[in-house]
Amino acid sequence: MAHIVAEPCIKCKYTDCVAVCPVDCFHEGVNFLAIDPDVCIDCGLCPPECPTTAIFAEEDLPEKWKNFIEINKKYGAVWPVIDAQKEPLPGADEMAKVESKLDQLDPNPGP
């Protein structure tokens, strides 16, 4: 099973998780990170690094975010790999507190 990036990442995009990933399974969109489930080795290093508690083992993903399994699979296959830590998005600390922001997920690939 893979780890899943869920809704709290939208418009925050902290990349502390990327810095610890041994297999470069993170992919970058404009305002969200996704994990390619075919590359993730389920090592468990990334969840404790996420300041917004946006990363879960698939079996621990809250029911309200189950749709993020498909979102990660979809975008993890097409967005570019991110293999180095970057600055979070402007306003990330404020956006981390916002709930129900799926409608703000930008489907475009990151830089």
The answer to whether residue 110 sits within a structural domain is: no
Q: What is the mean pLDDT of residues 66-87?
A: 97
Which range marks the domain in which residue 19 is found?
A: 3-88
Find the mean pLDDT for residues 7-23: 97
Q: Is residue 101 part of a domain?
A: no
Q: What's the confidence (pLDDT) of residue 52?
A: 95
pLDDT in tens, 41-52: 999 999 999 999
CA distance to 5, 22, 91, 101, 106, per residue, from 10 (Å): 9, 23, 11, 7, 9
The domain total for the chain is: 1
| In the predicted structure, residue 111 carries a pLDDT above the cut 90 | no
CATH number of the domain residue 8 falls in: 3.30.70.20
Q: What pLDDT is recorded for position 55?
A: 98
pTM across the whole model: 0.96
Mean pLDDT, to the nearest integer, of 58-68?
98
Region 24-46 average pLDDT: 98
Q: Looking at the domain assignment, is residue 48 inside a domain?
A: yes
**What sign does the CA torsion over 5, 80, 13, 19 have?**
positive
Is 46 a domain residue? yes
- Pairwise CA distance, residues 72 & 20, whole Å: 19
Mean pLDDT within 21-25: 97
Give the pLDDT mean for 21-35.
98
